[in-house]
Each structure stands twice: as structure tokens, then as C-alpha cells.
């Protein structure tokens, strides 16, 4: 039995978190979501590392379990499909490719879709599940830190369009979300840092005690992912053998995931609380709600995990080059933020580490936003 914990979301204990969950997960899926076809969709990066092993284990366990149930059970099959990695795949075209694959394999409503990957796979494959045969069950197996602490939780699915990101989609809750931190072992550093931004933001708006851990344990948390001990790799880690850094990483991820689950449970369709997940610290300072000490802590913490804190950062420069976005253009873009009500902009205002001014985004005058955005 691996080490697992369950987090409840929308009154169901459907988030399962731990180390080395593969066997537990396959059993759980086969026993609790009994269908004739399990269709796993992933991207080719993840497929090249994990698919063969996962697919073998799935097939073995499925045949063992159906043998133990006698001959009357419907045979269960496992099929898989890999799409190209990257945000470009989060499109209507790739959605249609996946649907064509499922149809070519004669999948019916009696199908459970397994989204195996990061946020791109999650959003895209979740949307396929929401509309295939008017909706089929799906589970998520998260493989990036961002997906573990953010994008997997909340039931939002979407594709991008040339007019913008995430514009077409649906709310469709997965039956299970598996957060198995063994997958972080192969995650590129940049992807780890990306996920840490979300972890730090969550602690900053919600729980000072978590923020203090992030401030004090930088080396340990980074090492767990970037320099896993050669003698105890994630793949072999159990409750007894895992390193203190691995345990710490797991608790940090759990705390972030719990917060998301709490927010989604209390505000599934994003009316108030869910808007909390976007904050603007400089604006809070300029409005007099946040002091310099808190800003300093936030900046230092972000920097210590390798995150940029200004437009002059060398990585930002590398991506942006000499292009500049004038304040007028930014104000224009912010007009279509979904947190706005009418033409009034709403932004989460931090009032201290672990605290926000309101339990939701606050109305802010355009002039105040303009002031902090101006160089």
C-alpha cells in the first residue's frame, strides 16, 4: 500500500496525493469507474518517458482483476494516443484529432478518458471528455507542478483560439485527480519554477505559515526536484525511505492543492472567492494596504526560486526582446478580464503575507492601476 492522502473537493474525496501511486491508481480506476474502454491521452514528451510502463501495468492489472471477478465481466481494453507537446496543441484542431482517434477506435459512452500530463493535456482532454458523446467520465493524472497545484483543480477545461487563450471550454469535473510526485523527477527546471510561482502566490494570499516554510526551506524544496538523491530516487521512495526534502515538497504541494480545493468547493463557477487567485502586490502597496516589509519578503521569496520580479530580468528580456507593451494597451487588455464587472476592474489586494483586503477581488479605479503600471 503506497502512502496516500485524500483531499475533498465539491464534497467528494476525489484528489489523491502521494508517492508511487501507479498501482493504487490503476486498481482504483478499474474498480470504481468500471467501463469497457480506458482511453489515455498524453503528449509525446510524457509518452516517451512513462507510457510503456503505465500501459503494461494497466493491462496486467485489468486482466488480473477481471479473472478474479469470473468470466461474466465485460472485457476491458486500454488504448492510448499522444499529441505533440506545447500550448499550440490546446486547439480545436487537436481536439478534433483526439475525437477522431476515439471514434476510429469505436469508443462509445462507455469510455473513461485518462488525461495524463500537465495543464495543456488537462484543459484540452478535459474538454474532449466534456463533449465526447455529450460527456464521458475522465480522470487526471498530473505530471507538472503547475497542474498539481493549480490547473488540475477546479473543473475548468478549454482550448485556445486565435482570438485568445481559454476562450472555448466547459466546466467538467474529473472523477479523480491523482497527484503523484514521482512525475516531478523528470520535470524540466523551467517547468518546476513555473509551478513554484503558483505555490508562492497561494501561500501569500492564504497562509503565512506556509509562506514562512517557502522562505526558509528554499534549498530543500529545490533539491527535492532538481537534485533528487541518487540513492533514493522518487521512483523508489516510500513512506519510510523518502527524504526529508521529498516529504517537505509533498506537504507544500498538498497545502496548495487543499487551498484550491477549498476555494472551488465554495465557489465552483467563480463568482467571488475564486477571483482571489489573482493578486497584485505593487498595487496594494500604492493604495496603502501593504507595507514595504511584505513586498520585500515576496520579492525575495520569488527570486530565491529563480522567478523574475521585474521586466529587466534577463529571461524576460530574452523572450520579450525590445518589444514593449504601452500602458494604454495593457489597460485595454485588462478590460476583458473575466473578473471585471461591467467596465469596473477587480484585482486581489494583498493586505499582508497570508491576508487579502477582502475575501474576493476588490474594485480598483483605472487611475490607480495606471499609476503602478507606468514605468
Contact residues toward ligand NAD (CB under 6 A) are 43, 45-46, 49, 85-87, 90, 117-121, 123, 143-144, 146-147, 150-151, 154, 156, 165-166, 183, 186-188, 191, 194
> Rounded to the nearest whole angstrom, what is the least distance from the CB of residue 230 to ligand NAD in the complex?
18
Which of 38/116 has CB closer to ligand NAD?
A: 116
> Rounded to the nearest whole angstrom, what is the least distance from the CB of residue 195 to ligand NAD in the complex?
7
> What is the C-alpha separation between 278 and 362, in angstroms, rounded?
11
Label residues 232-248 b or e (16+ Cβ within 10 Å = b). eebeebeeeebbebbbb
- Give 298: exposed, middle or buried? Use CB within 10 Å, 0-12, 13-18, 19+: buried
User: What is the number of the residue whose Cβ is closest to ligand NAD?
Assistant: 119
> What is the C-alpha separation between 29 and 35, in angstroms, rounded?
9
Which of 30/139 has CB closer to ligand NAD?
A: 139
Which of 46/290 has CB closer to ligand NAD?
A: 46
Which of 294/347 has CB closer to ligand NAD?
A: 347
> Rounded to the nearest whole angstrom, what is the least distance from the CB of residue 153 to ligand NAD in the complex?
7
Which of 45/304 has CB closer to ligand NAD?
A: 45
> Rounded to the nearest whole angstrom, what is the least distance from the CB of residue 56 to ligand NAD in the complex?
18
CB 220 within 8 A of CB 244: yes
Which of 85/174 has CB closer to ligand NAD?
A: 85
Nearest 5 degrees, angle CA 102-CA 104-CA 107? 45
Which of 156/222 has CB closer to ligand NAD?
A: 156
Exposure of 139 in the CB half-sphere (CA atoms within 13 A): 24
> Rounded to the nearest whole angstrom, what is the least distance from the CB of residue 328 to ligand NAD in the complex?
26
| Dihedral angle sign, alpha carbons of residues 39, 167, 84, 117 | negative
Q: How many CB atoms lie within 10 A of CB 270?
A: 16
Label residues 322-342 b or e (16+ Cβ within 10 Å = b). eeeeeeeeeeeeeeeeebbee
CB 20 within 8 A of CB 4: no
> Rounded to the nearest whole angstrom, what is the least distance from the CB of residue 314 to ligand NAD in the complex?
21
> Rounded to the nearest whole angstrom, what is the least distance from the CB of residue 147 to ligand NAD in the complex?
4
Amino acid at each position: 500500500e503506497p502512502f496516500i492522502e485524500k483531499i475533498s473537493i465539491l464534497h467528494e474525496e476525489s484528489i489523491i496525493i502521494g508517492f508511487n501511486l501507479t498501482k493504487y491508481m490503476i486498481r482504483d480506476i478499474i474498480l470504481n469507474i468500471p467501463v469497457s474502454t480506458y482511453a489515455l491521452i498524453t503528449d509525446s514528451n510524457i509518452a516517451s518517458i512513462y507510457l510503456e510502463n503505465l500501459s503494461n501495468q494497466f493491462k496486467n492489472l485489468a486482466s488480473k482483476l477481471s479473472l478474479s471477478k469470473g468470466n461474466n465481466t465485460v472485457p476491458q481494453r486500454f488504448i492510448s494516443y499522444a499529441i505533440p507537446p506545447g500550448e499550440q496543441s490546446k486547439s480545436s484542431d487537436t481536439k478534433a484529432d483526439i475525437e477522431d482517434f476515439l471514434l476510429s477506435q469505436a469508443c462509445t459512452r462507455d469510455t473513461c478518458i485518462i488525461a495524463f500530463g500537465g495543464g495543456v493535456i488537462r484543459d484540452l482532454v478535459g474538454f474532449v471528455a466534456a463533449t465526447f458523446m455529450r460527456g464521458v467520465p475522465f480522470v487526471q493524472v498530473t505530471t507538472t507542478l503547475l497542474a498539481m497545484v493549480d490547473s488540475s483543480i477546479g473543473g475548468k477545461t478549454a482550448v485556445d483560439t486565435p482570438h485568445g487563450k481559454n476562450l472555448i471550454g466547459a466546466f467538467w469535473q474529473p472523477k479523480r485527480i491523482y497527484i503523484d510526485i514521482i512525475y516531478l523527477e523528470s520535470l524540466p527546471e523551467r517547468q518546476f519554477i513555473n509551478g513554484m510561482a503558483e505555490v508562492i502566490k497561494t501561500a501569500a494570499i492564504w497562509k503565512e505559515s506556509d509562506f514562512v516554510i517557502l522562505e526558509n526551506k528554499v534549498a530543500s524544496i529545490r533539491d527535492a526536484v532538481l537534485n533528487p538523491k541518487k540513492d533514493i530516487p522518487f521512483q523508489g521512495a516510500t513512506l519510510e525511505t523518502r527524504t526529508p526534502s521529498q516529504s517537505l515538497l509533498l506537504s507544500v504541494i498538498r497545502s496548495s492543492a487543499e487551498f484550491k480545493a477549498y476555494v472551488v468547493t465554495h465557489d465552483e463557477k467563480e463568482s467571488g472567492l475564486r477571483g482571489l487567485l489573482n493578486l497584485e502586490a505593487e498595487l496594494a502597496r500604492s493604495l496603502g494596504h501593504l507595507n514595504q516589509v511584505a513586498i520585500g519578503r515576496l520579492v525575495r521569496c520569488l527570486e530565491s526560486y529563480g522567478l523574475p520580479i521585474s521586466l529587466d530580468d534577463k529571461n524576460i528580456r530574452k523572450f520579450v526582446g525590445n518589444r514593449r507593451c504601452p500602458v494604454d494597451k495593457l489597460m485595454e487588455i485588462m478590460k476583458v478580464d473575466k473578473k471585471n464587472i461591467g467596465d469596473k476592474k477587480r484585482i486581489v489586494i494583498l493586505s499582508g503575507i497570508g491576508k487579502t483586503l477582502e475575501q474576493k477581488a476588490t474594485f480598483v479605479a483605472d487611475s490607480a492601476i495606471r499609476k503602478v503600471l507606468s514605468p
